[in-house]
Amino acid sequence: MTPRITAVLFDLGDTLWHFPSMPPVEVIRSETVGRLSRLLESWGEEVTDERYYLGRDIRLAVEEETSRAFHGDSLDPGYPELCRRVAARNGLRLTPEQGEELWEAWNLGGQFLGRTLFPGVLETLRWLKERGFRLGSVTNRGYGGPRFQQEMRDLGLAELFEVVALSCNLGFMKPHPRIFEYTLDAMQLTPQETAMVGDSMHADVEGAKALGMTAIWCRPPLDEPVEASTDPPEVEGSVRPDYTIDSISEIRGLPPFANGGLK
């Protein structure tokens, strides 16, 4: 007999939220340069011609290290320390605390970039909770500080999740089993009673199925920009999800959830 699903874990970026009206590249570049320039000036550092491109250098390093980790050992790159290494190439010797500040300044944040929940997300999550399902989140993220926590509250998500496991805090990126195991342990769940919902075949589907969880692939929006510092959307691969949906609202009609829930 197949174990009954009692909990659902969700990815965040490009699963629960997206960026349908992201600012033009020129606006993003200007904002990044402005933030980094003001930060350097607050440290008493000169914004030289070379340092003017510090934001670009960080972006290139982030893209390279994220791809390496995601398709390699799945160990979180440690982005503040990465920022320190990039800064050193520009003659800036930063403390670990300054590396954190630089990383936070470079991350423009979801509010600036137009982060928006997909239609039906809050309604579906509340529907699941009302029927007795426990909710958590497992996500690859480059930062999880106070600004991110506030954005989660502003979106109405913080109150719905028992646990939010962030790769930047745990040191492991999906599909590494440790990030999933941390969440299961924290919620006192077995893989067999847990479903994972996400847009990435590699991170979410392969990662979940490797531990024996039910995998629900939410097909990503292919005509929109994806989050920086995250895995790109993928097409269906060799590992098959247990279920495939095109929107979070479709969860309500899937067999594990369609028969009235746990209550």
pLDDT-above-90 percentage for the chain: 83
CATH class held by domain 7-20+115-253: alpha beta
Predicted model pTM? 0.91
**How much is the pLDDT for 229?**
41
**How much is the pLDDT for 2?**
59
**How much is the pLDDT for 263?**
63
Q: Is the pLDDT of residue 262 over 90?
A: no
59-84 in b/e form (b: 16+ CB < 10 A) is bebbeebbeebbeeebebbbbbebbb
**How much is the pLDDT for 234?**
52
Helix (H) or strand (E) holding 156: none
Rounded Cα distance between 214 and 197, Å, is 9
Count Cβ atoms within 10 A of the Cβ of residue 169 and give its class: 0-12 exposed, 13-18 middle, 19 or more buried.
middle
Domain residue extents for the chain: 7-20+115-253, 25-111
* Cβ contact 83:102 at 8 Å: yes
**Which tens digit of pLDDT belongs to each residue from 49-61?**
999 999 999 999 9
**Which tens digit of pLDDT belongs to each residue from 79-89?**
999 999 999 99
